[in-house]
């Protein structure tokens, strides 16, 4: 599946209704974004079951603000509705491919257990 342009009206629905969503926050004027775009597109074609979304930070300022995007490009990954990765900067093609494979293998039961443990710990601290 090729990349899709995501906007705020369909953002939450996209995250909730897909197992794995990878987001590229970018802008037209950004040189590194232009270099990363074709890499992101190529890798997206290798993983037809993964949603690769592109979010134009100029057009979708509220979404960029929601994630505190300060540097572009920034890659964010959601698995089963949970944010599991966020990194500013363009990823090399091999690194992006490795990231997708690692996230596919990620055990979300372990992730949810870690989140629950952190929340319980924070609850005791207050």
* 30 belongs to the catalytic site: yes
CB of 56 closer than 8 Å to CB of 34: no
- Residue of 15, 33, 90, 100 marked catalytic: 33
Q: Which DSSP letter does residue 79 get?
A: E
Q: Are 33 and 89 in contact (CB under 8 A)?
A: no
The active-site residue, picked from 30, 69, 100, 103, is: 30
* SS3 at position 55: strand
Instruction: Give the residue numbers marked as catalytic.
Output: 30, 33
């Amino acid at each position: 599946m090729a990349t899709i342009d995501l906007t705020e009206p369909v953002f939450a629905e996209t995250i909730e209704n897909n197992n794995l969503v990878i987001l590229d926050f970018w802008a037209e004027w950004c040189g590194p974004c232009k270099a990363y775009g074709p890499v992101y597109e190529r890798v997206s074609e290798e993983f037809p079951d993964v949603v690769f979304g592109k979010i134009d930070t100029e057009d979708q300022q509220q979404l960029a603000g929601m994630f505190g995007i300060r540097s572009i490009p920034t890659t964010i990954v959601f698995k089963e509705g949970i944010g599991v990765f966020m990194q500013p900067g363009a990823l090399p093609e091999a690194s992006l491919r490795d990231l997708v494979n690692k996230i596919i293998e990620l055990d979300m039961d372990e992730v949810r257990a870690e989140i629950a443990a952190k929340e319980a710990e924070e609850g005791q601290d207050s």
